[in-house]
């Protein structure tokens, strides 16, 4: 599904440049649930952003489901993101003046789906994250866990090839974190490919594979026995 070879990324900071990713080789098969771990500043988010086409790589290659991702202009990148990828962020990033359903329906709007269909589909995905009754509530009326579930519904509604989550539980307490992980595991059970950046090992243990980053290189990449989040909920 994801095929990365010899990935390099530097950030220019005035006259000097910061070499963040120093030759990453990395591939992900369909249906995997991968945790990316590492200390702060190790380049986790940078890697995820490149995978998410939010940032460009300097060197190396990136193929997503057989499609080489390179030299994308802004419009093409936006269309690819919309079609291929779902995003979940640490701080949810819901649009505060749109209710839960409208937030979930937004990616479908950019897919030019008609309104009625959008709303039906958004409701269906809200139902899957257990928030159908909250459809007309604004984000400010939802708890952190609920917000993240809405964000997950929004990420999944466009039926992406890969779900990318940057510290999805970073802003949540452990109980809520496990609920969110339970949901992510269930989505993964259906065959969806998911990458999660985290620095909490209990969250990483709930994935099927853990990749350790350190100073811009992969230190360790191992398959693990998945801990089911439902045991803790």
Binding site for ligand ATP (CB under 6 A): 11, 13, 18, 20, 38, 40-46, 199
Alpha-carbon span 187 to 94, nearest angstrom: 20
**Segment interacting with Mg ion (CB under 5 A) among 43-51, 64-72, 114-122, 207-215:** 43-51
If one asks whether residue 148 binds Mg ion (CB under 5 A), the answer comes out as no
CB atoms within 10 A of CB 110: 13
Residue choice 42, 49, 169, 198 for contact with another protein (CB under 8 A): 49
Number of residues in contact with another protein under rule CB under 8 A: 30
Distance CA 214, CA 38 (A): 6
Distance of CA 192 to the CA centre of its chain: 12
CA distance 100 to 110: 17
Answer for which of 4, 57, 106, 122 binds another protein (CB under 8 A) is 106
Three-class DSSP labels, 150-195: HHHHHHHCCCCCEEEEECCCCCCCHHHHHHHHHHHHHHHHCCCEEE
Q: What angle do CA 77, 82, 85 make, to 5 degrees?
A: 90
Among 26, 35, 44, 52, binds another protein (CB under 8 A): 52
Q: What is the spatial distance between Cα 64 and Cα 50, in angstroms, rounded to a whole number?
A: 11
Q: Choose, by CB under 8 A, the member of 74, 116, 191, 225 that binds another protein.
A: 74
Candidate residues 7, 32, 43, 45; the one interacting with Mg ion per rule CB under 5 A = 45
* Smallest distance, Mg ion to C-beta of residue 43, A: 9
> Binding partner of residue 41 among ligand ATP, Mg ion, another protein, none, CB under 5 to 8 Å per kind?
ligand ATP
DSSP state of 141: G
Q: Which stretch binds another protein (CB under 8 A): 6-14, 36-44, 49-57, 178-186?
A: 49-57
Query: Which residues have C-beta within 8 Å of that of residue 181, sequence separation ≥ 6?
Result: 169, 203, 206, 229
158 binds another protein (CB under 8 A): yes
- Distance CA(187)–CA(222), nearest Å, equals 21
118 or 212: whose CB is closer to another protein?
A: 118
Tell me: does residue 146 bind another protein (CB under 8 A): no
Residues that bind Mg ion (CB under 5 A): 45
Residues that bind another protein (CB under 8 A): 49, 52, 54-55, 74-75, 78-79, 81-83, 87, 89-91, 93, 95-98, 106-107, 109-111, 115, 154, 158, 166-167
């Amino acid at each position: 599904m994801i095929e990365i070879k010899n990935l390099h990324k530097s950030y220019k900071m005035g006259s000097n440049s910061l070499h963040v990713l120093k030759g990453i080789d990395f591939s992900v098969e369909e249906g995997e649930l991968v945790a990316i771990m590492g200390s702060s500043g190790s380049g986790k988010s940078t890697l995820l952003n490149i995978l998410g086409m939010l940032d460009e790589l300097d060197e190396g290659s990136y193929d997503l489901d057989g499609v080489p991702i390179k030299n994308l202009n802004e419009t093409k990148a936006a269309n690819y993101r919309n079609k291929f990828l779902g995003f979940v962020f640490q701080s949810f990033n819901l649009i505060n003046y749109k209710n839960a359903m409208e937030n979930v329906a937004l990616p479908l709007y950019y897919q030019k789906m008609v309104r009625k269909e959008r709303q039906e589909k958004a409701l269906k995905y809200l139902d899957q994250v257990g928030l159908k009754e909250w459809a007309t509530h604004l984000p400010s009326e939802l708890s952190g866990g609920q917000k993240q579930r809405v964000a997950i519904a929004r990420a999944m509604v466009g039926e992406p090839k890969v779900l990318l989550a940057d510290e999805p539980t970073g802003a949540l307490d452990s109980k809520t974190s496990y609920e969110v992980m339970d949901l992510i595991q269930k989505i993964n059970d259906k065959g969806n490919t998911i990458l999660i950046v985290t620095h909490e090992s209990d969250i990483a243990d709930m994935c099927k594979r853990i990749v350790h980053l350190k100073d811009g290189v992969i230190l360790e990449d191992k398959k693990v026995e998945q801990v089911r989040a439902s045991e803790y909920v």
